[in-house]
Amino acid sequence: MYNKKQGVIYVAMNYRLGAFGWLAGPSFQADGTANAGLYDQRFALQWVQDNIHLFGGDKNKVTVIGESAGGGSIMHQITAYGGQQGVPFKQAIMQSPGFLPQASNNQLEAQYNDFLSIANVSDIAGLRALSTEALQAANTVAVWQSMWGTFNFGPAVDGYFVPAMPGKLLLDGDFSKDLKIMVGHNSDEGLLFTDPFVNTSALFTERMHEAFPAATNATISYITDVLYPSEAFPDQISRYALASSEFSFTCNTRYFDLAFKNKTYSYYFSIPPGLHGEDIPYTYFNGPSSSVVNATAAIALQDFIVTFTEGGAPKSPDVPNAPAFGMYGANSTVEDIGASSITRIKDTVANSRCDWWQRALYV
C-alpha cells in the first residue's frame, strides 16, 4: 500500500504450499478444508486491514501485487465466494497470474488418494497422525510424480471459497467489482513448462488428456485440432508452449480486462526471450543496467507499479518519451515493454482461444 508521507509500505506474506495448502476433493473435504493456502492469504490480508495503520498505512488504499502463483492467488481472492464477501484490498496488480486449472472432482479425488498412498495411510486421520517430516517427504514424492511443468497441487474448485473456475466466475459477473486492476503477461510464458520430449502430435494429445483428465475425447480433439492444430506450428514444442501459456497464464489477464469492462491497465513484457518470470528482476531492479536487466525498461515498469499504487493510474515520469499508459479499452491495447522502446500494441491474447478457455468446457 502507499502512504504519502512514507512512500510505499511493503508487506509480504507466507502461505502453505503443496499438499499442506492445496489438498482437495470430496473425500478430503468430508473432514478437511480445501484450499488452505487461500485461507492463509485471506487471513494475512485481513491482518493488514486491521493493523496497517500501526505502521503508518491506510487500510483504504491497500494494493496487492503478485507474480505467477501470487497473481493466480489474487485472481482466486477476487473471485472468492463468487464475490459475495468482498476483498480486503482496493487495487490489484497481477503479473503473469498463473495456476493449472483443477475443477474436476474425479481429478482432485485421484490426487488425494495418490497422496494417501504415498504417505502409506488410508484417510485424513492417518495423515494427521504423521510427523511433519513424514508429510514433507510424501509431499516431495507427490510433486516429483506430477506431469512435466506442473507441481501436482494448487488452487482447486471446492464449491465454497472457489465455487467455480475463476475465469468462469469473471465471465458470469461473480467477483468483487469495486477494484482497480493492473495486469501483465510476458511474450513466452509457456516454454518453461513445456515437456521437451513432446515431439509428436500424438504425445501432444496425450499431454492434453493428462492436463484435463475430465475432458471428453471430443473436447480434447477440439483443443488439438481447432485451438492448436499441429499444422499451424513449426514444431510440437512451440505448439505445447502456446497452449500451456494460454490455459495457465496469459488468458487470465484477458479475463480481467473483459470482466472490468476494459477499464483496466494491461502491459506486455516482450524483452527477449520473454520467458515466465523474466519480469521479476525488472520489478525489483535496484542497480545499474546489465546483460540481465535493461535499466530503462526496469525503471518504466517500476514507475507503472508505484504510480498505480499511489493513484490508481500507471505513469512513467522517469522515462522520457514513454507513451501515456492508457486503459485496455475496446481495442484491447496494452503497454508493450520492449528491449528498445515502450509502445502501445494490441493484446496478443485478445483471441478466440482465450474465449473458449474461459468457459471451462474441459470439466
Distances (CA, A) of 188 to 287, 303, 357: 26, 23, 18
Strands 2-3 and 7-8: antiparallel
Residue 68 is a catalytic residue: yes
* Cα 293 versus chain centre, distance: 23
Q: Which residue among 68, 104, 187, 248 is the active-site one?
A: 68
Q: How many residues does the chain have?
A: 363
All cell numbers assigned to 121: 495411510
CB 347 within 8 A of CB 329: no
Residue 189 is a catalytic residue: yes
CB 294 within 8 A of CB 339: yes
Q: Rounded CA gap, 279 and 201, in Å?
A: 32
Torsion angles phi and psi, residue 54, rounded to 5: -70, -15
Q: Which residue among 67, 96, 176, 189 is the active-site one?
A: 189
* DSSP string of 106-126, one letter each residue: HHHHHHHHHHHHHHT-SSHHH
Residues assigned a catalytic role: 68, 189
